[in-house]
């Protein structure tokens, strides 16, 4: 997969814009969406009032003016840092949206009306309209090719410079507005209304306009709000305790203690983590229609994949000619090529290609006066009637067998053995007959994509079960499943079979992902917890899924799962770190507050902080600076390794839990040592 996105976390332009947004986001209506940081804003406002009061009245009962100003500024900076974390994540998305807008510029469209071409603006195209494109044209709108075949440059969307082939019919018919036609001529039917195109949806998504909080994010927000409420009670109860011991606890001390004890670290980074998760998905060339889909991907248990075009390279290819005894190789190959004259299927074309490799050319064949017999689903065969009366047929074993027996001939045992051998090896046999006499078999084989076994092994280590879905017979399906390295397979699958399998897994409490590109995949994509549609697939598939893979890479789920797990782990680890921080800050501030009036509490002042004032300032400064220090981690995500959940939990608790306790002790002490020089 080629990644064309910038890897820089803090480009200069984005930083400048994010700094501006840090102030804009101070609007209480915006801050209210984050309960933790909203309470910090209230505390900052209260601190401002206390500071102004102390400056105007000269009252030092609430601490000196300089001390109050310092506390106010630090709390204010804490707010700005938290807003900056969210703003930089949003800015990265908006930068991508700007590049997409350039792709979606107004382009002329060759609208087809009664077989006449009328040039109109792309914004005038409606769903159901038909337009024409030829080499050099920009495709003006999303649609499905209804006529023709063309080479298309999709680099503006995918970043991949290699052109792709799109053609009418099948699962490779979808085109996206903003991409460029490189060759040939196509007619396209518009599948979206103006403003509802794929690019429009992408732009809205990456800008954050349609980003909704995920269930996990909402639950964590409620938990953090609960923590905040608990520490409101904790701080209030300190007042009567201070009065009892004769300790004057200033408003600044109360506010600082409260801000330090509530989980401001995770509170300030929570939105950034969610936005960054979707951003990482986009950088992996995956468009997600919701943050929930990314999050769910981290907990996937089962993955369903189509065989054709997903596990295999695509259509079956002819790999070998098998003439029966008494038939010469060259004679048989020549007949096979004649039988494929009217076969426009990819399999038919591959037979011609294999014949070419054996030194044959279609132009060398004597086909004057020949009548072409096209393949139909009913007959399951194709062929040609030559001018001399010879009837050549090529098709499925059962079709040719019936044809042979109906003419009073016996199906050769040798050909039957060849058919069985090809089927046992996961191939597809095509039997060839001349005048209802079988003369040989063509072997077709699925070509498994290179490196796919290693990819499936990695998914297995992640705890994801892979299931191959195919319309092939069980024998062929079993062979390919074993060769590809999937855990299970569904043979002779109909659309409803996929649905049933997904529902069965979901009934057992498992989360299911489905990858597909065809209209027949749409119901299953909609039913799955994570539905990943190929960008090259049909419009129906892309509409049904909640993710679209721009690279059309069937093993992209590995990246998607990793991003999902990164998102969940990043939230979990930073929450652990934040709560561990709170424990350390409690031991920094509370003992320092009471160590003068209650000397016995001095034993808890294990940091040996200089004074209550320096302790409070050191704690709030550390509380402020830890947020920007963790922004890179929030944006990049915690590195994921496919190890067991227990091992992963132990590692994160050790690093972020223990680290979250130790870091404040060290940091606050160092800051206190510096502050004490000036107090």
Q: How far apart are CA 284 and CA 590, in angstroms?
A: 47
- CA 372, distance to chain mean position in Å, is 47
Q: Is 306 among the residues known to form the active site? A: yes
Give one DSSP letter per residue of 3-24, joined into a string.
--S---SS-HHHHHHHHHHHHH
Using only C-alpha atoms, the chain has a radius of gyration, in whole angstroms, of 34
Query: Integer distance in angstroms from the first to the last C-alpha of the chain?
Result: 57
The answer to whether 472 and 491 have CB atoms below 8 angstroms apart is yes
- Structure-token pair, residue 35: 């309960």
Dihedral angle of Cα 211, 212, 216, 218, to the nearest 10 degrees? 130
The answer to whether 319 and 443 have CB atoms below 8 angstroms apart is yes
Find the catalytic residue in 142, 171, 279, 306.
306
Of 505, 671, 516, 511, the residue nearest 584 (C-alpha):
671
- Structure-token pair, residue 71: 């506390």
- CA 670, distance to chain mean position in Å, is 42
The answer to whether 48 and 252 have CB atoms below 8 angstroms apart is no
Q: How far apart are CA 128 and CA 134, in angstroms?
A: 20
Dihedral angle of Cα 455, 456, 459, 465, to the nearest 10 degrees? 160
- H or E element that contains 258: helix 251-261
Q: How far apart are CA 629 and CA 622, in angstroms?
A: 10
Q: How far apart are CA 393 and CA 431, in angstroms?
A: 8
Beta strand pairing call for 143-153 and 180-181: antiparallel
- H or E element that contains 186: strand 185-190
Name 111's bridge partners. 118, 131
The answer to whether 403 and 433 have CB atoms below 8 angstroms apart is yes
- CA 434, distance to chain mean position in Å, is 52
Give one DSSP letter per residue of 76-106, joined into a string.
HHHHHHHHHHHHHHHHHHHHHHHHHHHHT--
Q: How far apart are CA 538 and CA 51, in angstroms?
A: 63
3-state SS string for 601-636: HHHHCCCCCCCHHHHHHHHHHHHHHHHHHHHHHHHH
- Structure-token pair, residue 222: 């409620």
- Structure-token pair, residue 536: 């090259």
Active site residues: 306
């Amino acid at each position: 997969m080629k990644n064309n996105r910038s890897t820089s976390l803090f480009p200069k332009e984005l930083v400048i814009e994010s700094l501006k947004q840090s102030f804009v986001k101070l609007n209480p209506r915006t801050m209210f969406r984050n309960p933790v940081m909203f309470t910090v804003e209230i505390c900052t406002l209260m601190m401002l009032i206390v500071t102004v009061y102390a400056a105007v009245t000269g009252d030092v009962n609430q601490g000196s003016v300089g001390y109050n100003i310092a506390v106010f500024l630090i709390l204010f900076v804490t707010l700005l840092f938290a807003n900056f974390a969210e703003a930089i994540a949003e800015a990265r998305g908006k930068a991508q949206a700007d590049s997409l807008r350039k792709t979606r510029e107004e382009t002329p469209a060759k609208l087809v009306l009664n077989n006449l071409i009328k040039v109109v603006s792309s914004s005038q195209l409606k769903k159901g309209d038909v337009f024409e494109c030829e080499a050099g044209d920009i495709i003006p709108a999303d649609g499905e090719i209804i006529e023709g075949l063309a080479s298309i440059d999709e680099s503006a969307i995918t970043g991949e410079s290699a052109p792709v082939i799109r053609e009418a019919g099948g699962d490779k018919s979808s085109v996206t507005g903003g991409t460029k036609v490189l060759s040939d001529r196509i007619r396209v039917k518009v599948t979206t209304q103006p403003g509802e195109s794929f690019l429009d949806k992408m732009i809205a998504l990456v800008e954050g306009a349609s980003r909704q909080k995920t269930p996990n994010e909402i639950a964590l927000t409620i938990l953090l709000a609960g923590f905040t409420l608990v520490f409101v009670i904790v701080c209030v109860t300190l007042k009567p305790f201070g009065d009892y011991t004769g300790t004057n606890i200033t408003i600044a001390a109360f506010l600082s203690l409260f801000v330090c004890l509530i989980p401001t670290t995770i509170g300030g980074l929570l939105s950034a983590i969610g936005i960054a998760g979707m951003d990482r998905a986009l950088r992996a060339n995956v468009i997600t229609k919701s943050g929930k889909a990314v999050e769910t991907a981290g907990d996937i248990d089962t993955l369903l994949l189509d065989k054709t075009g997903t596990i295999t390279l695509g259509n079956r290819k002819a790999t070998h000619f098998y003439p029966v005894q008494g038939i010469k190789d060259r004679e048989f190959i020549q007949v096979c090529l004649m039988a494929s004259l009217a076969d426009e299927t990819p399999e038919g074309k591959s037979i011609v290609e294999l014949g070419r490799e054996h030194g044959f050319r279609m132009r060398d064949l004597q086909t004057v006066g020949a009548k072409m017999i096209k393949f139909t689903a009913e007959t399951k065969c194709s062929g040609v009637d030559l001018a001399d009366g010879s009837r050549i047929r090529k098709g499925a074993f059962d079709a040719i067998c019936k044809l042979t027996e109906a003419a009073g001939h016996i199906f050769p045992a040798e050909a039957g053995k060849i058919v069985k051998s090809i089927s046992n090896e996961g191939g597809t046999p095509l039997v060839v007959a001349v005048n209802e006499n079988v003369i040989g078999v063509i072997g077709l084989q699925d070509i498994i994509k290179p490196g796919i076994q290693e990819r499936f092994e990695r998914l297995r280590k992640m705890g994801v079960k892979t299931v191959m879905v195919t319309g092939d017979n069980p024998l062929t399906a079993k062979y390919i499943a074993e060769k590809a390295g999937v855990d299970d397979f569904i043979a002779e699958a109909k659309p409803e079979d996929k649905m049933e399998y997904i529902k069965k897994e979901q009934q057992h409490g498992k989360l299911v992902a489905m990858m597909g590109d065809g209209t027949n995949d749409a119901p299953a994509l909609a039913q799955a917890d994570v539905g990943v549609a190929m960008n090259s697939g049909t419009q129906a598939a892309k509409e049904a899924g909640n993710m679209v893979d721009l690279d059309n890479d069937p093993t992209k789920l590995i990246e998607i799962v990793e991003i999902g797990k990164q998102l969940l782990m990043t939230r979990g680890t930073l929450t652990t770190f934040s709560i561990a921080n709170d424990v350390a800050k409690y031991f920094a501030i509370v003992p320092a507050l009471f160590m003068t009036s209650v000397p016995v509490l001095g034993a808890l002042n294990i940091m040996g902080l200089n004074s209550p004032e320096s302790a409070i300032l050191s704690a709030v400064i550390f509380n402020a600076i830890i947020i920007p220090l963790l922004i890179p981690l929030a944006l990049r995500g915690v590195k994921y390794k496919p190890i067991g959940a227990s091992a992963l939990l132990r590692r994160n608790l050790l690093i972020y839990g223990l680290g979250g306790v130790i870091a404040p002790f060290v940091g606050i002490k160092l800051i206190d040592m510096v502050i004490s020089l000036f107090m």
